């Protein structure tokens, strides 16, 4: 008689959660690899976060993705945090180490994954557009890749200056961002995302010379920013690469396995119908 193994609980917390692709990705992976796991959506209001962590202990939740607005507030509720979390001041992943509930940040791993495939010279000049939470992951990732020539620009000047001071970056005024010489331009802003801002671009200039344009948005697959870059002969990287990279790192942390091809195909088909 075979013993019954209850599915290990995993999920995503945020508020509001909106339409996340994470349940489709992780549930397809559990099913394809025949692992006893399930991944659910848990919309948790900010005030209920401590109660959620108590529930995670009680229900033996094995892993969790964390999104806005909980990435910072979750940190003091954890038993242990990684160097990534401490460096970035944000946590996007919960995992178990024995009885302990631990925090990791896989955004850095996800961000660098597509850039590691392109051997970038240490002289690469980088321009980062935006100074929100995800730009911290980008900066930490660029540092890990050995890139030091980084200029940051943001619509709200004080946010840009705070990040530049913290990480020792060059700061450019938002109005002059098109004049910054760059071989790698990274968009961390929501400009170009499906919806009201879809026809906008964070980079209103013509792309000069050759380089790589990396948009952290993944809906639509080809933003106006990436279309303009491709038309100028630049290499383009979509935010889907980062989304899959961070999800793969989470799944590996929870199960010891990498995301199977089926999980990536399921997400791509659901997003872009291909």
**SS3 breakdown of the chain: % helix, strand, coil, rounded to 5?**
40, 20, 40
Residues 6+ apart with CB under 8 A from 70: 13, 14, 15, 44, 46, 49
Strand partners, 235: 212
The region, left, alpha or beta by phi > 0 then psi within -120 to 50, assigned to residue 199 is alpha
Q: Provide CATH code, domain 8-104+241-272.
A: 3.40.50.10860
Token digits for 268? 């791509």
* CA distance readout (Å), 220 to 134, 185, 273: 18, 18, 12
Element (H, E) at 165: helix 157-167
What is the distance, to the nearest Å, from the Cα of residue 169 to the centroid of all Cα atoms in its chain? Answer: 21
Known active-site residue 100: no
Q: Please state the domain extents for the chain.
A: 8-104+241-272, 109-237
Evaluate if residue 274 carries a pLDDT over 80: no
Structural contact between residues 253 and 91, judged by C-beta atoms closer than 8 angstroms: no
- Of 216, 255, 12, the residue nearest 113 (C-alpha): 216
d(CA 241, CA 247): 10
Q: What is the pLDDT averaged over residues 256-270?
A: 97
With residue 198 as reference, give the H or E element that holds it.
none
Q: Is 83 annotated as a binding residue?
A: yes
Percent of the chain scoring above 70 in pLDDT = 99
Report d(CA 245, CA 50) in Å as an integer. Answer: 28
Identify the pLDDT of residue 1.
61
Is 3's pLDDT higher than 80? no
* Pairing label, strands 184-187, 126-129: parallel
Cα distances (Å, whole numbers) of residue 3 to 6, 35, 207, 273: 10, 15, 61, 40
pLDDT for 203 beyond 90: yes
Tokens at 231, concatenated = 């038309």
- Are 8-104+241-272 and 109-237 the same fold in CATH? yes
* Mean local confidence (pLDDT), 216-239: 94
pTM given for the model: 0.89
Q: Which CATH superfamily hosts domain 109-237?
A: NAD(P)-binding Rossmann-like Domain (3.40.50.720)
Tens of pLDDT, residue by residue over 55-69, are 999 999 999 999 989
17: pLDDT confidence band, cut at 50, 70 and 90? confident
Quick one: angle between helices 133-144 and 107-116, nearest 10? 50
User: Over the stretch 141-192, which tens digit does the pLDDT of each residue have?
Assistant: 999 999 999 999 999 999 999 999 999 999 999 999 999 999 999 999 999 9
Q: Is 41 annotated as a binding residue?
A: no
Marked catalytic residue, from 71, 80, 117, 157: 71
State yes or no: 237 annotated in a binding site: no
Q: What is the mean pLDDT of residues 40-65?
A: 96
Total length of the chain = 274
- pLDDT score of 273: 87
How large a percentage of the chain has pLDDT more than 90? 85
Residue 2 confidence (pLDDT) above 70: no
Q: What is the chain's mean pLDDT, rounded?
A: 94
Mean pLDDT calculated for residue range 212-238: 95
Contact 205, 176 (CB under 8 A): no
According to DSSP, the β-strands at 170-171 and 184-187 are unpaired
Q: Is 134 part of any known ligand binding site?
A: yes
pLDDT digits (tens, 9 = 90+) for 102-126: 999 999 999 999 999 998 999 999 9
How many CB atoms lie under 10 A from the CB of residue 248? Answer: 21
């Amino acid at each position: 008689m075979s013993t019954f193994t209850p599915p290990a609980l995993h999920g995503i917390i945020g508020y509001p959660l909106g339409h996340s692709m994470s349940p489709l990705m992780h549930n397809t992976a559990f099913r394809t690899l025949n692992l006893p796991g399930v991944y659910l959506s848990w919309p948790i209001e900010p005030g209920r976060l401590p109660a959620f962590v108590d529930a995670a202990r009680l229900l033996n939740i094995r892993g969790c993705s964390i999104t806005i607005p909980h990435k910072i507030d979750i940190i003091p509720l954890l038993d242990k945090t990684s160097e990534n979390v401490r460096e970035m001041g944000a946590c996007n992943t919960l995992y178990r180490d024995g009885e302990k509930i631990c925090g990791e940040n896989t955004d850095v791993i996800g961000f660098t994954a597509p850039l590691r495939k392109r051997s970038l010279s240490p002289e690469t000049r980088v321009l980062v557009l935006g100074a929100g939470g995800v730009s911290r992951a980008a900066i930490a990732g660029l540092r890990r890749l050995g890139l030091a020539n980084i200029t940051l620009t943001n619509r709200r000047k004080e946010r840009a200056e705070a990040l530049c001071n913290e990480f020792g970056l060059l700061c450019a005024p938002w109005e002059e961002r098109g004049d910054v010489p760059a071989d790698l331009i990274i968009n961390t802003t929501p400009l170009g995302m499906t919806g009201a801002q879809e026809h906008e671009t964070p980079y209103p200039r013509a792309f000069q010379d050759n380089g790589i344009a990396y948009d952290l948005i993944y809906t639509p697959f080809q933003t106006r920013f990436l279309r303009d870059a491709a038309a100028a002969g630049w290499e383009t990287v979509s935010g889907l690469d980062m989304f899959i990279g961070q999800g793969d790192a989470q799944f590996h942390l929870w199960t010891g396995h990498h995301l199977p091809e089926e999980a990536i195909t399921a997400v791509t088909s659901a997003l872009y119908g291909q």
